[in-house]
């Protein structure tokens, strides 16, 4: 197939592009390079050095003998979106092209507004371009398990059958997002479902759990192909943060009681889920939802795992939770549809954790401990040293 990856320079988009190209698909990469600009805004950098996009593309061509088309521009520019899709003529569009950090969206009013405008408007432009150019294009939209929140009932895969006053209907599972970022994803889901129902488009909404790891078979072929390893308090994930804290002798800082439970998935599996979804498209008019994770882990469990595997001494400390969230809650989410289509999970076992810690040890000299403690709070007027403005490439 011809597959266009929006946000193809990012943490997930880049290894996904490599994986799909290696699987034999013709891949295009579209990005506005804003993720790199946000690092400069906040004063952060990936623990593992990452190459410039042109160097990445050249390295992949050298390693694999396969080329990728590149489109540099902003999804908020409807003309650019339309022209890029018309030029590449994709069978499938994979949409990673959004601001994906909950803390970034909660820095202040400006960052909240930017996140929602950037994400919702960009997605709408993609949906309209598909409807106008070729409704047969399969849109794979990256959502998040954070759309659901932590309800006191089981989470189904996108849809819920409801009986009320003697009548029954199938409705989208109720959403209770936990940040301005997650709310933007809820709006995306509703907009895309409307487009399928009304314009007969076809879409897969992948409600993805927390992704961990930085290595895939393809990205490991050459150092220039490496993807990001974020450990800071805005873009870093909890496992990365704990691994870095262990390596520098810093306490593993668990937010609150540590009972916050989420779905998690290895990067290797995350990119393979995209391949599986692309190679098994939905019917015209179908809006299908896959919950894309392989395990459920609490923050406390992840900290205990790192403490157990790390060869040195680890201390676990509880710190005030900067988020407004339940620290103990029921969490049981269905996640069978991708497994039914062939996903073979790679789990967060001791072997993986040891390999992750070895990567951190290799680049320990690049760690900046001051970017780890949280300064972004979900509570109004509580943020410390918030950046003055949002960095945009427009």
Q: Kindly tell me if the per-residue pLDDT of 386 is higher than 70.
A: no
Region 100-117: mean pLDDT is: 98
Is residue 218 in some structural domain? yes
Q: How far apart are CA 68 and CA 85, in angstroms?
A: 15
Q: Work out the burial of residue 180: count CB atoms within 10 Å of its CB; fewer than 13 is exposed, 13-18 middle, 19 or more buried.
A: buried
Is residue 394 in some structural domain? no
Catalytic status, residue 331: no
Percent of all residues in the chain with a pLDDT value above 70, rounded to a whole number: 97
Place of tokens 């018309």: 86
Residue 338 near residue 344 (C-beta atoms within 8 A): no
Q: How many domains is the chain built from? A: 1
Is residue 127 in some structural domain? yes
Candidates 41, 33, 39, 40; CA nearest to 390 is 41
Tens-digit pLDDT profile for residues 235-268: 999 999 999 999 999 999 999 999 999 999 999 9
Q: How far apart are CA 251 and CA 317, in angstroms?
A: 6
Tens-digit pLDDT profile for residues 167-225: 999 999 999 999 999 999 999 999 999 999 999 999 999 999 999 999 999 999 999 99
Tens-digit pLDDT profile for residues 317-334: 999 999 999 999 999 999
Place of tokens 């930085």: 214
- Residue 390 pLDDT: 53
3-state SS string over 150-172?
Answer: CCCCCECCCEEEEEECCEEEEEE
Please give the residue range of the domain that contains residue 46. 2-371
Is residue 224 in some structural domain? yes
Catalytic residue among 92, 115, 123, 144, which?
144
Catalytic residue among 185, 227, 297, 331, which?
185
Is residue 241 in some structural domain? yes
Is residue 323 in some structural domain? yes
* 330-376-109-180 Cα dihedral, nearest 10 degrees: -20
- 167 contacts: CB under 8 Å, gap ≥ 6: none
**Quick one: pLDDT band at residue 380, thresholds 50, 70, 90?**
confident
Kindly report the CATH number assigned to the domain that includes residue 141: 3.40.50.720
Catalytic status, residue 11: no
Alpha carbon separation from 139 to 47, 287, 288, 312 (Å, rounded): 32, 10, 11, 46
Q: Kindly tell me if the per-residue pLDDT of 393 is higher than 90.
A: no
Catalytic residue among 104, 181, 250, 310, which?
181
Candidates 294, 146, 276; CA nearest to 207 is 146
Determine how many CB atoms are found less than 10 A away from the CB of residue 389: 10
Catalytic status, residue 227: no
Q: How far apart are CA 13 and CA 30, in angstroms?
A: 9
pTM, to two decimals: 0.96
- Among 53-57, 179-183, 381-385, name the one with the lowest average pLDDT: 381-385
**Quick one: pLDDT band at residue 54, thresholds 50, 70, 90?**
very high
Q: Kindly tell me if the per-residue pLDDT of 392 is higher than 90.
A: no
Is residue 381 in some structural domain? no
Is residue 162 in some structural domain? yes
């Amino acid at each position: 197939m011809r597959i266009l990856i929006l946000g193809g320079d990012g943490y997930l988009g880049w290894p996904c592009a490599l994986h799909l190209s290696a699987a034999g698909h013709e891949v295009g990469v579209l990005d506005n390079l804003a993720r790199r600009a946000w690092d400069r805004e906040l004063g952060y950098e990936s623990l593992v050095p990452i190459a410039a996009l042109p160097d990445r593309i050249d390295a992949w061509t050298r390693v694999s003998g396969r080329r990728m088309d590149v489109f540099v521009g902003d999804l908020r520019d409807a003309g650019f979106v339309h022209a890029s899709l018309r030029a590449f003529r994709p069978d499938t569009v994979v949409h990673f092209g959004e601001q994906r950090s909950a803390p970034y969206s909660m820095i202040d009013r400006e960052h909240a507004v930017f996140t929602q405008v950037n994400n919702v408007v960009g997605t709408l432009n993609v949906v309209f371009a598909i409807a106008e150019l070729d409704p047969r294009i399969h849109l794979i939209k990256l959502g998040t398990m954070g759309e659901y929140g932590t309800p006191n009932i089981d989470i189904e895969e996108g849809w819920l059958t409801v009986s009320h006053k003697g009548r029954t209907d199938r409705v989208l599972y109720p959403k209770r997002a936990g940040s301005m970022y997650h709310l933007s994803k809820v709006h995306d889901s509703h907009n895309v479902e409307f487009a399928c129902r009304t314009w007969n488009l076809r879409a897969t909404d992948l409600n993805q759990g927390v992704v961990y790891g930085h290595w895939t078979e393809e990205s490991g072929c050459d150092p220039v192909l490496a993807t990001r390893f974020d450990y800071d308090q805005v873009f870093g994930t909890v496992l990365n943060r704990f691994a870095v804290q262990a390596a520098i002798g810093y306490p593993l800082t668990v937010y609150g009681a540590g009972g916050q439970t989420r779905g998690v998935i290895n990067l290797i599996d995350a990119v393979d889920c995209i391949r599986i979804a692309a190679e098994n498209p939905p019917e015209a008019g179908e809006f299908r939802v896959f919950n894309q994770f392989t395990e459920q882990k609490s923050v406390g469990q992840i900290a205990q795992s790192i403490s157990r595997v790390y060869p040195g001494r680890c201390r676990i400390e509880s710190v005030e939770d900067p988020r407004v969230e339940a620290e103990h809650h029921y969490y049981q989410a269905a996640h069978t549809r991708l497994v039914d289509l062939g996903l073979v999970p790679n789990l967060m076992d001791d072997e993986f954790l040891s390999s992750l810690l070895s990567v951190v040890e290799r680049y320990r000299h690049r760690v900046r401990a001051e970017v780890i403690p949280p300064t972004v709070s979900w509570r109004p007027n509580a943020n410390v040293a918030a950046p003055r403005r949002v960095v945009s490439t427009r």
